[in-house]
Amino acid sequence: MPSTRFDGELVTLNADVPPADGRRLTEFADSFLVEVSRKLDAEPPAPSVYVFGRRRDLRRFLRRESPAFAKRTGACFVSEDGDVIIALRASRNGQPALDSLRHELTHAVVAANFARPMPWLDEGLAQCLEEGMPPGEPAEVLDELAAMDDIEDRILRVVSITEHADLTATDYRVAWGLTWFLIQDGGYGWQAIRRCLEPPEFGETPAQRLARGLGLGPEPIARSFKIFLERRNERSLGD
């Protein structure tokens, strides 16, 4: 286990890092949690973050605490006692990579506030905030999605997935682009994201849940995302 514990306002960090680095990381994590929670009109959680220098120590920890995530290099889960736990691999100097930390902290905000988030939205949000936004634009991902001629079908499939484990690497990129679009689009924005995170109503399908959150079902949203990608593509070709 990591040897040193740092208590932030919200985050408890366990890592093998010098005191100044530990304090800097907890401050970074605390302010990130407050910022993301404000966007989602949610309560900032108080997660415990464990940073492991060795891959096998991370694996051992995850096998014991959350076996479904045992093969990940980063994970966020809620313990049996209801504590929000983040486990990460250290990149160098015993420190976690800040993009991975942002990704898992975003999951912590969602996990602590919203029951059973739709997997594509949970991952899409984590990817968007991992990259930092706004104004950062995931240009490469959007170009890649615009080049797919079956992008509408992919979206229809991705938004109906109910288990995180069923998301493929391509699904992650589709989820990322679609979430980015929703956040940036004046007609949706953070409020629409928040409505989509509200717990499902009894017997509600993912399609119905999306329609309740956005006022639009999967087919119209897939169509408008495709149109957005095409316009963006034409603009960049015209430059």
86 near Zn ion, rule: CB under 5 A: no
**Identity of the amino acid at 12:** T
Q: Annotate 155-205 with three-state secondary structure.
A: HHHHCCCCCHHHCCHHHHHHHHHHHHHHHHCCCCHHHHHHHHHCCCCCCCC
- Residue closer to Zn ion, measured from CB, 126 or 161: 126
Closest residue by beta carbon to Zn ion: 126
User: What is the DSSP secondary structure assignment for residue 66, as one 8-state letter?
Assistant: -
Q: Which stretch binds Zn ion (CB under 5 A): 18-26, 126-134, 155-163, 166-174?
A: 126-134
Closest approach of Zn ion to the CB of residue 100, in Å? 9
- Kindly tell me which of 39 and 103 has the beta carbon lying closer to Zn ion: 103
Eight-state DSSP code of residue 85: E
Smallest distance, Zn ion to C-beta of residue 133, A: 16
Least separation in angstroms between CB 109 and Zn ion: 12
Angle at 40 between CA 68 and CA 74, to 5 degrees: 25
Please tell me what DSSP assigns to residue 69. G
Q: Are 137 and 200 in contact (CB under 8 A)?
A: no
Q: How far is the CB of 130 from Zn ion (least distance, A)?
A: 8
- Per rule CB under 5 A, is residue 126 in the interface with Zn ion? yes
Nearer to Zn ion, 90 or 129 (CB): 129
Site residues for Zn ion per CB under 5 A: 123, 126
